[in-house]
Structure 1
């Protein structure tokens, strides 16, 4: 019976369509626009139906329509998703018709209340329809086509909502900027755009094998003073948290979170669906339905869908909004709209996608983000040029910023003024002062133009060797040159009364910037300082104020003199190769004692090494934030791999150790839809040669810029050593999936976190001080207890469980050592409190 009813609906839709086509001949066009009554914004996809003869049409992305009718007056019915139905009499004598639509904000809520407590999936026509949408999803989504291409225009905006007069106090010369308030886009909102980016791209997609390419050939954006603001990082962050969206995706990624799509494969487990209306127009017969979360606290949407009843069950329109009860911070309003249009073959293609989110507290909005994507010029199937898929999937052509952006939707007067205002703003001294102060607080550097001093947190620290330590450092900026880079510091310890220093320089080899990808440069480093055993040369090596007050701060040191020369080359597919040579001369200082394992009367006071290394790194589709040569990978679903081989060059420069090292590492973030996300890190390695344990693997020694680093928070410094090892780290943030199901507790928006870290290693007989006479004894405390251990058959494990998002910013974790609990100075458990601010 269900199939019979669907066939009847299809035949009815076909009859209406044929009837409409039969009366078009020899008729006069009526043209006009459909707009929002309050905001005056055009409404794309609105349907206009002539009640008398059932002629219908729909509006384009600019709200325009043309209806073919015989001469005379007609009563028309106008429908738009999210608006009240409009009935109006129009005449063919009118040359330009404007139809004003009233917002229908409360319709969905009213329907939801009517069905609350009585909803069932079984025998629910809306659920049956959703099952058909899901069944046909693969053939309807763009990524499911054998091949296609299209033009994509993107406009991304970020700014303030209803800026208060306090922003103008003492800044009278900046009043011009605060006067550019857009009052037309949203009711009761005055929007002040402070960042805007536009781009045009050619997009190619292929199904088998699956390939995707977005070639950005035109781009324009606002830019702030680069001395204080890294415009690339703003662009990268906003494009990360507001990625291109499609209702056909299983989960819609926005604000660093995954919201389950209402047409996801398991959508009916989390959503309720209701049929609202039927719609007829020249494109066919559509059913409009509403959906809402079963649990409003989960990361879900509420809204409406229009589904085509031509047998494709494709989505024509979608309106999605974030529920105010959802477990997400700082979001007061979140709306996503999608509009699809049929091509000549009757295939629904994404026409526009729009996302608007306002952020703030319960008292009101503070900032907003807005993204519009318009797709045009579809080719299906597409003729794809040879080599189109080479390189990164999203590629910015070198001449992109030199080409004027072409816009399928014209900028408003407020948007046009934004570019001019930002340029004028950058020339105001009061604004430069504000940026400088903000840069000092946020980054810890004081900018002097071509050079900047910092970081501020490294100015003072304390340790058991130097006592009070004073450090002055800095680095060059791109105002000096972007073809070379320098950083360094001078430090002085009050107790040991010694001067320490560091200098690093990188010079481009390809005539391009040394800081942007892909780079090709040579760098050199020299450092004289006290270092933790096992630590490599680094500018930010751990001597910060905050590190010096940690409970498990280092107490064992080498007085180190180091030199390093490296060559770095990066390729377009995010494969990089680093080769280099490093010399380190280390002398024991303070509490560190290295006693010869064959002669207890002999102390080893020097450990000198020469190393040549090759490091191969592959980070497919990587995006990152950068400042000078420091990069931080934006964690997406793509993995990062490293393979590093190191060989000693003994026999000169006072070195005698012969060894080889090999390490392999991989890291990946897994997005688990409604179960949040999990980070997995895995590292393994082996060391060949006879070495003191300070040159072996010690898992709790932090290394610079280590993407695969695992924080063993319950492990002491130098507690374990191995020459064969495996490290594993796992952390899972459930984003409130469990707490959201507990009455009363779910109103607190708490989130679950848990994780586990493992280290397993072995030590060969040649490096075991209990067997070999050619190495050094393990470290001991003042009571003679051995502090460095060899793992036996069991690996070291520690686990954690905690609650995140307490009061929207606190994280509390219970951390416990699960194995090796009886070792000297081994802490068994700890409660860790930290600040974690997130959406």
Structure 2
């Protein structure tokens, strides 16, 4: 009996042992990596669900996953936004799976067709969910946090799609470059990368007061021959049109256009939303939404959103695609992906943002651009070191180019070969020839090594004094030195049979390049040429071939001898200070007559001035393209301000004029979401002193390029003069917002533009030749009609324009009308203006 009990207990103990061990050993796991079948790149945020027990997990930023399951064989469901669902059986013996998902290309189209007729916002659960996403947007977006910091890895690529054999014809020594074609990223595209940039940065953000800082501590990029290619400008342009993006932004800025985000405050007025799926995994419960444009021609997306249902209504994933019918040129494909991951506090943090765009015609792709941003090592809230926000918001450390990149995602073999291939390409003679020809066509200069000749469009022009004008000019290059710069020209007129010249040089004062930002240099200029009254010294003074065939080209001139010395210093916060002295000796030529207002028998034939000036410029967060000393701002949402004070120095070097000038100017671009963008310029000034009107403000005189310049296209040269003035300009590009709503017409992808320019000025009695005998009379034309007018106590001068842009993707037609002072003699009241304007 006792033995039986013992055996029974042993049996029960054995069962208990086996049972407990079965529990221990039944728990196993399946692990692996999820990738895209076409690109072979990891998919972050893919959901892996074991159908037997509804246990789920998701992949990390590198596509890796691990899920606990009972020992044996299990049917597993794998889903990722934008990809086809996959079901497959795995065993617990599978510990290093590599699972590839295919793109889901037709799902959105099917949804659109199925629901198009019966869609409405009222009572739509998808719209109610979007309202909650919008309501919680500020608390979920990273910019809404009190402070944070993270590491950012960026990879930007630009290149050719499916390069054709024609590019190899006669260029056999370049075959090695065209053979480095990436066939991994997209199965239907062969990508040849021409430009690639990688960078690592530490990013800091603070809400109150709002401050942002990005410190780039590692940077590597391809570079072409600096004689022909300004690598900085390529980098600046690509980083401008492919800026860092976030689905939480009201509008996503890409390709110089604003695409309304699907979670914008007013998104439901432009998008349709549908609930298409529910997702459960270890991170929680999510609802997947599909969205599409109400009007496919507007600048909108179609795609999917994955929204967290834990009460935060935060976006977990987003896939956005540019609609092929959007009012956009040259874009055949545009895909944006966002992935957010939840931290330990449950906050969704942007993990990965990826944008891929291919460009071309309807016949096929020609070029592509690709940008990948990976964010890691979040600190929330962040301990931000003191002094971090000083200087420019984006700062490239001096050691960045010497620091190897830390890659969040490995380069594929084709990407790895890009750097060495570009370096090898630069040493090929046939490639140098191609660059030289392209440089001549694009920039108008022919490079000779240490110097270059040009610009091409200034070789010939024509005016009423010189007749046929021939000019040869040039400038030094950085091959000579980057610590100094020289530009010069010589010109000859066949009618006046006289040589003119210009020489300018700048020398660095800080031991650094004279042309790169921030610069510090001393500049000296000498010029002897015929100039419009009111015009300043300049290498490009407007005597190009195209300027000489304008209808309202100048006809009154001074023969001018000028000298200028300037000191220019730029600071890292984009404040610049220019101080200088200018001497100008002007002699009347041709039919320009300056008759003494107190004695009609006396002519003023010479005007000599000495001016000292201080010019303060502030352009917060400015980015620009540059070539030598010429800067061209990349117009973003930040304003630009100028204040310039000029003091005459009379009593020596032949000058007897005593006066002071103050000029202020501001310009800003307003981004208006779906209504496009509007450029506004405002300037004004005052002149103290008794002066001939040619030294006063002449609003339609061509000046050196400046962001504040307003071109009054319907105003004649020297038509108005003032010693107190204000100028205003507005130009609105609506990007097709109205035309997109008109059936049939919207297929043409036309875009609306309108603008207006205003000038108002007053003239003090002592400068008014009708009231003062100490100045000169306004000049007259051959018929005795006065050419210059005063607006004292009269209405401002206005001109307006309306037009259609993007005709055949390249033409702009405007109707320009003079709105005031139409009764003045020898003025055009209106005209049509046709120009070439190529844009996305």
User: Contact 2:26 / 2:71 at 8 angstroms: preserved in 1?
Assistant: no
Gaps of 5+ in 1: 1-22
Alignment of 1:325-724 (within 5 A): 325-724=325-724
- Deviation digits for residues 356-407 of structure 1, max 9, x if unmatched? 0000000000000000000000000000000001111111111110101110
Deviation at 1:824, TM superposition (A): 1.5
User: Contact 2:675 / 2:735 at 8 angstroms: preserved in 1?
Assistant: yes
CA distance in 2: counterparts of 1:499 and 1:555, whole angstroms: 19
Question: Match of 1:475, SS?
Answer: strand
Structure 1 counterpart of 2:221: 221
User: Contact 2:121 / 2:127 at 8 angstroms: preserved in 1?
Assistant: yes
Structure 1 counterpart of 2:813: 812
- Deviation digits for residues 98-129 of structure 1, max 9, x if unmatched? 22222211011101101112101011000000
CA distance in 2: counterparts of 1:576 and 1:43, whole angstroms: 47
Question: Match of 2:127, SS?
Answer: helix
User: Contact 1:485 / 1:506 at 8 angstroms: preserved in 2?
Assistant: yes
Structure 2 counterpart of 1:20: none
CA distance in 2: counterparts of 1:415 and 1:527, whole angstroms: 50
Structure 2 counterpart of 1:794: 795
Question: Match of 1:609, SS?
Answer: strand
- Deviation digits for residues 395-448 of structure 1, max 9, x if unmatched? 111111010111010001000000010000000000000000000010000001
CA distance in 2: counterparts of 1:25 and 1:84, whole angstroms: 34
Gap change, CA 1:24 and 1:749, over 3 Å in 2? farther
Structure 2 counterpart of 1:159: 159
- Deviation digits for residues 315-364 of structure 1, max 9, x if unmatched? 00000000000000000000000000011111100000000000000000
Question: Match of 2:535, SS?
Answer: coil
Question: Match of 1:440, SS?
Answer: helix
User: Contact 1:78 / 1:86 at 8 angstroms: preserved in 2?
Assistant: yes
CA distance in 2: counterparts of 1:213 and 1:38, whole angstroms: 36
User: Contact 2:38 / 2:185 at 8 angstroms: preserved in 1?
Assistant: no
Question: Match of 1:88, SS?
Answer: strand
User: Contact 1:359 / 1:365 at 8 angstroms: preserved in 2?
Assistant: yes
Structure 2 counterpart of 1:826: 827
Question: Match of 2:506, SS?
Answer: strand
- Deviation digits for residues 671-720 of structure 1, max 9, x if unmatched? 00000000000001000000000000000001112210001000000000
CA distance in 2: counterparts of 1:626 and 1:37, whole angstroms: 42
Q: Is 1:729–2:729 an aligned residue pair?
A: yes
CA distance in 1: counterparts of 2:369 and 2:431, whole angstroms: 23
CA distance in 2: counterparts of 1:24 and 1:464, whole angstroms: 100
Structure 2 counterpart of 1:18: none
CA distance in 1: counterparts of 2:112 and 2:687, whole angstroms: 65
User: Contact 1:534 / 1:701 at 8 angstroms: preserved in 2?
Assistant: yes
User: Contact 1:24 / 1:68 at 8 angstroms: preserved in 2?
Assistant: no
Deviation at 1:24, TM superposition (A): 11
Deviation at 1:25, TM superposition (A): 11
Question: Match of 2:541, SS?
Answer: coil
CA distance in 2: counterparts of 1:824 and 1:477, whole angstroms: 49
Structure 2 counterpart of 1:8: none
Deviation at 1:26, TM superposition (A): 8.6
User: Contact 1:509 / 1:521 at 8 angstroms: preserved in 2?
Assistant: yes
CA distance in 1: counterparts of 2:672 and 2:687, whole angstroms: 36
Deviation at 1:623, TM superposition (A): 0.2
Question: Match of 1:712, SS?
Answer: coil
User: Contact 2:29 / 2:95 at 8 angstroms: preserved in 1?
Assistant: no
User: Contact 1:24 / 1:69 at 8 angstroms: preserved in 2?
Assistant: no
CA distance in 2: counterparts of 1:620 and 1:561, whole angstroms: 36
Structure 1 counterpart of 2:746: 746
CA distance in 2: counterparts of 1:381 and 1:476, whole angstroms: 51
Question: Match of 2:395, SS?
Answer: strand
CA distance in 2: counterparts of 1:658 and 1:252, whole angstroms: 53
Q: Which has the larger radius of gyration?
A: 2
Deviation at 1:57, TM superposition (A): 1.0
Deviation at 1:41, TM superposition (A): 2.6
Deviation at 1:613, TM superposition (A): 0.2
CA distance in 2: counterparts of 1:222 and 1:787, whole angstroms: 56
Deviation at 1:173, TM superposition (A): 0.3
CA distance in 1: counterparts of 2:795 and 2:777, whole angstroms: 22
Question: Match of 1:245, SS?
Answer: coil
Structure 2 counterpart of 1:260: 260
- Deviation digits for residues 50-77 of structure 1, max 9, x if unmatched? 1111111111222211112232111111
Deviation at 1:30, TM superposition (A): 2.1
Question: Match of 2:367, SS?
Answer: strand
CA distance in 1: counterparts of 2:24 and 2:541, whole angstroms: 77
Question: Match of 2:776, SS?
Answer: coil
CA distance in 2: counterparts of 1:120 and 1:306, whole angstroms: 21
CA distance in 2: counterparts of 1:706 and 1:251, whole angstroms: 29
Question: Match of 1:717, SS?
Answer: coil
User: Contact 2:588 / 2:606 at 8 angstroms: preserved in 1?
Assistant: yes
CA distance in 2: counterparts of 1:681 and 1:116, whole angstroms: 44
The TM-score normalised by the length of structure 1 is 0.97
Question: Match of 2:173, SS?
Answer: helix
- Deviation digits for residues 69-106 of structure 1, max 9, x if unmatched? 23211111100111121111111112321222222110
Question: Match of 1:439, SS?
Answer: helix
CA distance in 2: counterparts of 1:711 and 1:678, whole angstroms: 16
Structure 1 counterpart of 2:45: 45
CA distance in 2: counterparts of 1:246 and 1:481, whole angstroms: 42
- Deviation digits for residues 244-279 of structure 1, max 9, x if unmatched? 000000000000000000000000000000000001
- Deviation digits for residues 491-550 of structure 1, max 9, x if unmatched? 111111111110000001010111111111110000000000000000000111111111
Q: Is 1:277–2:277 an aligned residue pair?
A: yes
The answer to which of 34-43 and 223-232 deviates more is 34-43
Structure 1 counterpart of 2:297: 297
- Deviation digits for residues 586-612 of structure 1, max 9, x if unmatched? 000011110000000000000110000
CA distance in 2: counterparts of 1:79 and 1:99, whole angstroms: 11
CA distance in 2: counterparts of 1:87 and 1:707, whole angstroms: 59
The TM-score normalised by the length of structure 2 is 0.97
Structure 1 counterpart of 2:6: none
Question: Match of 1:808, SS?
Answer: coil
- Deviation digits for residues 452-508 of structure 1, max 9, x if unmatched? 000011111111111111111100001111110000011111111111110000001
CA distance in 2: counterparts of 1:397 and 1:480, whole angstroms: 27
CA distance in 1: counterparts of 2:412 and 2:86, whole angstroms: 27
Deviation at 1:28, TM superposition (A): 2.8
Question: Match of 2:170, SS?
Answer: coil
- Deviation digits for residues 115-157 of structure 1, max 9, x if unmatched? 1121010110000000000000000000000000000000000
CA distance in 2: counterparts of 1:345 and 1:806, whole angstroms: 53
Structure 1 counterpart of 2:772: 772
Alignment of 1:32-71 (within 5 A): 32-71=32-71
Structure 1 counterpart of 2:19: none
Structure 2 counterpart of 1:123: 123
Gaps of 5+ in 2: 1-22
- Deviation digits for residues 704-756 of structure 1, max 9, x if unmatched? 12210001000000000000000000000000000000000000000000000
CA distance in 1: counterparts of 2:169 and 2:839, whole angstroms: 30
CA distance in 2: counterparts of 1:317 and 1:260, whole angstroms: 17
User: Contact 1:29 / 1:92 at 8 angstroms: preserved in 2?
Assistant: yes
Question: Match of 2:239, SS?
Answer: helix
Structure 2 counterpart of 1:107: 107
